[in-house]
Structure 1
């Protein structure tokens, strides 16, 4: 019999994220697919690792469902602006890459027009109701559609990042605030933080 792993309900994502939306639904399905493919329970420590290539609503859902968080060091953000997510199981060495096949607008052309209208200055209550209706319909579709309709899912071989390290803090010579050693810069022979660092450029 095929082994499955219990997934927490979508309502827990909504509690954390604050509202229901297509983005959080995408993250929920992505996390669900990853856990089932990697046969991994929700991460307690760093046994499961997530690499996300956007900072959308989906990432909130991934944190709730997988237990991968920035603070634990097992959620890595790459600012690529892509609906692509890679999950790695440190215990088995397996990894799965999940990418969204199409945009939300492609699933329902009404969505883009409704969103533009509702965020305009002249939006009416009727416009807002229409937008909420379409948004809820798309969210429901994401939560219920077969995974293969929405996502490309592939097992991949990839290099696992080292586990998170704790770096000592040093004091910035300019503002006096503490900064993690690995994020500090050297300016005129003194240690400074990134906001205080004067970037050199001849362009």
Structure 2
């Protein structure tokens, strides 16, 4: 695996700036790979790893850089829990470990650098040097991953009977003998609301 400094530089470029979350994300992902025995997540081990992230913030970009897991490769899974945590799943062994940032690490950063007023600067310095046990909790977990969730899974593309849009990866819903997409089957669950054509700008 690349060094911490090399990976942090890549994460900074990918994310657009360096922050405490980037440092946590790089260290979290390196630890996850280490615990699973994955030495080259972007090389010879690239098809072994699936990563679940629980927040859409800086650390997630860093985790993607370290692991090589990408949403478009179906190897990065987003669970919107608002937690600075990730679960690393080794497809070759079925082993998975969930790693979460400890809230106490923020206070440790203050304790280490009381003379620095800016919180992000305190954390950036502290998160580089604190031992893993002061930064993270670790828990071995089971992650049931269905075939349709696997990277490389292929399925027929089916058209929604209402909107006509194609549906991939077994995401269709069968209702009243019709194949529907999730948006048409449950309009209230859409993340968007259509604007009537007469009101379209």
Query: What's the TM-score, normalizing by structure 2?
Result: 0.71
Structure 1 unmatched ranges of 5 or more: 110-129
Contact 1:167-1:180 at 8 Å conserved across structures: yes
> How far apart, in 1, do the equivalents of 2:104 and 2:50 lie?
25
The range that moved more, 16-25 or 87-96, is 87-96
Structure 1 residues 8-47: Cα deviation after superposition (integer angstroms, max 9, x where no partner)? 4201001111112222222111011112222211145430
In the superposition, relative to structure 1, how do residues 169 and 56 fare at CA in structure 2: closer, same or farther (>3 Å)?
same
Q: Identify the structure with bigger relative contact order (alpha carbons < 8 Å, sequence gap 6+).
A: 1
Structural mapping, 1:80-91, within 5 Å:
80-91=81-92
SS at match of 2:161: coil
In the other structure, the counterpart of 2:15 is: 17
In the other structure, the counterpart of 1:158 is: 142
In the superposition, relative to structure 1, how do residues 28 and 186 fare at CA in structure 2: closer, same or farther (>3 Å)?
same
Structural mapping, 1:81-120, within 5 Å:
81-102=82-103, 106-107=107-108
Structural mapping, 1:47-86, within 5 Å:
47-86=48-87
Structure 2 unmatched ranges of 5 or more: 111-115, 189-201
- Kindly tell me the number of residue pairs found equivalent between the two proteins: 174
In the superposition, relative to structure 1, how do residues 84 and 9 fare at CA in structure 2: closer, same or farther (>3 Å)?
closer
The range that moved more, 187-196 or 7-16, is 187-196
Contact 1:88-1:160 at 8 Å conserved across structures: no
> How far apart, in 2, do the equivalents of 1:37 and 1:196 lie?
43
RMSD: 2.8
> How far apart, in 2, do the equivalents of 1:172 and 1:28 lie?
41
Contact 1:46-1:73 at 8 Å conserved across structures: no
How big is the shift at 1:108? 6.1
In the other structure, the counterpart of 2:125 is: 140
